[in-house]
Amino acid sequence: MQVVYLCRDPKDCFVSLWHFMNKFTPWDIDEAHGRFCEGVSLYGPFWEHVLSYWRWHVDRPGQVLFLTYEELSADPLGQLRRLAEFIGRPFTPGEQEAGVDREIAEACAMKSMVNQEVNQSRTTEIVEMPIPNGIFFRRGVVGDWTNYLTPEMAGRIDEITKSKFEGSGLMLPKTISEISKI
């Protein structure tokens, strides 16, 4: 079994989760932030979730590919090639020359995914309730948290992240400039 795990900056992850939950019922951002920092979310505590996959990746890199959304946003083609290599289906030189990898990267871009007919008009059943597929897409912008979080809120998430990830070897890139150094 092979697993691909996509991690996102916890501040952007929180803002995305908050927007998603607000599509169902209004939720004050301060209350939502407090709950997130306490480890309450749809999939359990953010930091423990990420660390469990990070440790699995470190222990078995051939079994778990650990990607960050920030790296994917900064270099979609490079990350696609990395994924193809991981699953044992690297692009051939001929495929790369023909632009097959570029076509796939473009088809998987946020703008393209949002505009797919299946995401415009179809639904997914969740707890016996049809949910429009389009609800799962918002902006996908790295650093969008700056439009919603106060410096204090961001600082609290950063402190928790630093504390939780300490000693794990996991360092999440925070900005596009940091990603370019990887």
Q: What is the CATH number of the domain that holds 133?
A: 3.40.50.300
Does the pTM exceed 0.85? no
What is the pLDDT confidence band of residue 88, given thresholds at 50, 70 and 90? very high
The β-bridge relationship of strands 3-7 and 123-126 is unpaired
The boundaries of the domain holding residue 88 are 3-179
Side chain identity at residue 18, one-letter code: W
Which structure tokens are listed for 57? 């990746």
Instruction: Tell whether the model's pLDDT for residue 137 goes beyond 90.
Output: no
User: In terms of C-beta density within 10 A (0-12 exposed, 13-18 middle, 19 or more buried), how is residue 12 classed?
Assistant: buried
What is the tally of structural domains in the chain?
A: 1
pLDDT at 56: 97
pLDDT at 174: 62
